[in-house]
Structure 1
Amino acid sequence: MYSTDIKTCARQIVKESLNRILAGSYDVPSFEEMKLFLEQNFDHAFDDYLVTQKIKRSHPEWSNDQVIEELDRQKRHYENELRVNLRIAALNTIEEIENLIISLNNHIREWKVMNL
């Protein structure tokens, strides 16, 4: 997940929750809620076929068993990286949501001072 995805996701959550934010009844999602949201809304599929083809091109002399072992190793590595990246993305998205809410509240306060 890229930083642009994180910012887009945070903006979308803030837009969808704007009424609750303005009413002061919005709670920023918990870390676990954010992880679940990101898992459900972003495709992180491991493409077995594509990786197998790359392994076969890189190591044409390998047996099918060696290819399968390497595929399993790369899949485990991918899943570990995905877990770490998902944790970081969840934390960064929560931080971005909090920053957007603070900015929104500051702009509202400034508008009230100037117009009321």
Structure 2
Amino acid sequence: MSLGKPIDKLSLEELKVLLAWHQLPAEKGKMKKADKLFQWVRVVEEGRQPPPYNKWTDDDKARLQALMDELVTIADTRYGRDLALKKREMLAVADKFTAEERGEF
């Protein structure tokens, strides 16, 4: 390898990253390290280049910072929306209860 690390010394995580970078399909949980290593050896032997990517720009950094600065409340999450829905459903059902049923509830 160009970084000087022997291919057989690559960790499973490093192989996952390298194969993903080259956009090679990986069946989640089904490929063992030996399979990934075999795939990577083929990439190296064939001299395949990874697909081009767009460089990170100042605009990208600004958009990321805006997202990081944005306050996210529970109501903005799926859990919060599900909780609000359950409350509305409960209130709709509670309207159908008699006074005695509400007391029991």
Q: TM-score, normalised by structure 1?
A: 0.26
Q: Which has the larger radius of gyration?
A: 2
Q: Which has the higher helix share?
A: 1
